[in-house]
A and B are shown apart, each in its own frame.
Chain A
Amino acid sequence: MLQAELPGARAEVESLASLQHAETPLKRFVALYAESRLALVAAGVLVLIVAAAIAAPWLAPQNPYDLQQLDVLDARLPPGEKSAAGMTFWLGSDAQGRDMLSAILYGLRISIGVGAIATVAAVAIGLSLGLVAAYAGGRTESLVMRVVDLQLSFPSILIALVLLAVVGQGVDKIIVALITVQWAYYARTVRSSALVERNKEYVEAARCLRLSSARILFRHIMPNCLPPLIVVATVQVAHAIALEATLSFLGLGLPITQPSLGLLIANGFSYMLSGKYWISFYPGVALLVTIMAINLVADQLRDVLNPRLAR
């Protein structure tokens, strides 16, 4: 699972790149994006965070999943204290004697991994269903869209909550829950842009050339539906991470032995009033910075990729 997250994140970056070099060079996109210095900083921070998450096993002073390395006697030490074995807890330790810095790095891995995998899978499902709906029309379309409408009229947290209450905890289960609550956004986004594209001249032209439906769909219509999808997807990664954190906080998300950021915060939640702020403060900051960086990047992407705001 942890290996799988890497291609996920990369695929997103790649699709983003391939999108642009088709017509105008990547340079134009980069130049447009770089217009906002804040967005540039956010992108930099995001790259750093993802890199840190990927490199967690090499960066972290301790493997927080290996019970042999943990000692309950080191529990709840404030930042800067040394463990019994002589290691320094730069960000303190939690109730298990886990080094918070290591736990945050590994937690980022899980949070971002879960968010990215769920989003990529949901994009794939939403994209295909949205395209098919738009292209096929008729019964198929109304069936797909009925389901989409129905699902979007319910808050994601509620659907995820019921689903998790029914299937239980676990990384795989929370990913399934996140996919279930997300795919409809993409299906709707893709369908509406595909509907616009379908009636454009180039599709007309392709039809005249007797190209196969599948070819028209995937080679011609799909690339043009991607920009809005990317914007939605970026925002949704942030949403997925936040949703996972909330579900974990409510006790319905991930198992405690491999804590995500949300679960780390939830664990430290009970220590807030007693002044042991570091157990939930630092994971909270990590979560905040991650979500904020993604949101800022998404914001700028929206401006850059929105044709109506083209300057």
Chain B
Amino acid sequence: MLTYILRRLAASAVLLLVMSLLVFVGVYAIGNPVDLLISPEADQKEIERVIAALGLDKPLWQQYLIFLERALSGDLGRSFAFHTPAIDLILSRMPATLELALAAMLIAIAAGIPLGLYAGLKPDSLIAKSIMAGSIFGFSLPTFWVGLMLIMLFSVHLGWLPSTGRGETVALFGVQWSIFTWDGLRHLAMPAFNLALFKLSLLIRLTRASTCEALLQDYVKFARAKGLRMRRVVGVHVLKNIMIPIVTVIGLEFGSVLAFSIVTETIFAWPGMGKLLIDSIQVLDRPVVVAYLLVIVIVFVFINLLVDLVYSALDPRVRLAPGHAAG
């Protein structure tokens, strides 16, 4: 178990190294952030002075070594654009993204699993067919387009929900959360639903497929033959068995929700870390891009680990082999 975790971590460290190198070379190849940040009225000497002040005058390999050296002591550098330590910048934006992703995931799970279960149990009913048609629809709609449609409908035409931004926040454990205020929830509703739509469809389809498959299994047939009521068969045997793939997918998809929040955050002006990434790429704010990747890698390692643990807890057949990951 421990070796397994260690191997995972080592692999992620390698990945991080590769990614950071890629970002360094890439940003270097694209251009100089100073060209973008400095006032156009600055003259040549002024530009050179700023380049030197940001440490961008050194050769690339030297810049990278300096970065590595500092990173090992926990300093990922300061943002070129904000001058704040890049990691602080990311962490200050993280709660907003986390609550958006959690809310989206919650919506997807709360609606997706029951709908999928129903569609799997009564595959030929009209409702089941509409659910499946709807899921294909949700699967195919471009997120950014839906986001604007939602704003048009609920904010502009109906005036029910605020169009963009994050609502009032309250501090809890020293972090600002908006899910605990009414205003915050109103702001959260549309972006969370927008982000959830794709995962909702995915979960419906997955649950239905797993249910269909589970119903064909011998243990279900056996349970039915034994005279167990359908409700018990579904509630205990089917549900327990379909949870394994679903939990895995939920875990993995949570990561993808975090990533896709970039799009939703852009549309709804949600001050999360995805929006920060896009903005940072636009001004070539290298320390922030690298720090974002680091944070994301850590979050993902954590999520994947959690998924594996839950997976092995749910399914005793699964052993966490040190050789390669499950799946």
Contacts and interface: CB of A to CB of B under 8 A. Distances in A.
State if A and B touch, Cβ cutoff 8 Å. Answer: yes
Given A157-B262, A166-B25, A295 B136 contact: yes
B137 A292 contact: yes
A155 interface: yes
B129 to A, nearest CB: 9
A249 B265 CA distance: 13
A35 to B, nearest CB: 13
A119 interface: no
Question: Interface residue tally of chain B, by bracket?
Answer: 35 or more
Contacts of B324: 141-142, 145-146, 149
Contact of B262 (A167, A250, A269): A250
Contact of B145 (A156, A163, A252, A284): A284
Interface string B6-35: 000001100100010011011101100000
Interface residues of A, number: 44
Given A149-B324, A154-B255, A157-B262, A291 B304 contact: no
A161 B142 contact: no
Contacts of A265: 142, 144-145
Contacts of B47: none
Interface in B133-175: 136-137, 139-145, 148, 152, 156
Contacts of A252: 281
B323 interface: yes
Contacts of A272: 148, 152
Contacts, number: 111
Contacts of A142: 323-324
A288 interface: yes
Interface in A271-290: 272-273, 280, 284, 287-288
A311 to B, nearest CB: 11
A67 B71 CA distance: 50
Interface string A225-259: 00000000000001000100110011010000000
B213 A308 contact: yes
Nearest to B252: A153
Contacts of A141: 324
B126 to A, nearest CB: 14
Contact of A158 (B137, B216, B296, B301): B296
A155 B255 contact: yes
A7 interface: no
A165 B281 contact: yes
A166 B26 CA distance: 4
B142 A284 contact: yes
B111 interface: no
Which of B137, B281, B323 has most chain A Cβ within 10 Å? Answer: B281
B266 interface: yes
B213 A166 contact: no
A246 B143 contact: yes
B258 A249 contact: no
Interface in B44-89: none
B263 interface: yes
B19 to A, nearest CB: 7
Nearest to A293: B140
A153 B300 contact: yes
Contacts of B143: 246
A146 B213 CA distance: 30
B118 interface: no
B259 interface: yes
B30 A295 contact: no
A145 to B, nearest CB: 5
By DSSP majority rule, is chain B's interface helix, strand, loop, or mixed?
helix
Contacts of A188: 327
Contacts of A295: 136, 139-140
Contacts of A284: 142, 145
Contacts of B263: 157, 246, 249-250
B242 interface: no
A163 B11 CA distance: 20
B164 to A, nearest CB: 12
A155 B22 contact: no
B188 interface: no
Given A291-B140, A295-B140, A162 B19 contact: yes
A252 B262 CA distance: 13
Nearest to B19: A162
Interface string B268-282: 000000000110010
B4 interface: no
Nearest to A38: B133
A155 B26 contact: no
Contacts of A288: 140-142
Contacts of A103: none
B325 A273 contact: no
Contacts of A146: 11, 324
B320 interface: no
Contacts of B29: 166
A299 interface: yes
B26 A269 contact: no
A149 B281 CA distance: 27
A91 B255 CA distance: 39
16 contacts: A141-B324, A142-B324, A149-B11, A149-B325, A150-B12, A155-B256, A158-B262, A162-B23, A165-B289, A166-B30, A188-B327, A265-B144, A284-B142, A288-B140, A288-B142, A308-B216
Interface of A: 141-142, 145-146, 149-150, 153-158, 161-163, 165-168, 188, 238, 242, 245-246, 249-250, 252, 262, 265-266, 269, 272-273, 280, 284, 287-288, 291-292, 295-296, 299, 308-309
Given A146-B324, A166-B27, A284-B142, 11 more contacts: A153-B301, A157-B256, A165-B281, A166-B25, A166-B30, A167-B26, A245-B142, A265-B145, A269-B144, A292-B140, A308-B213
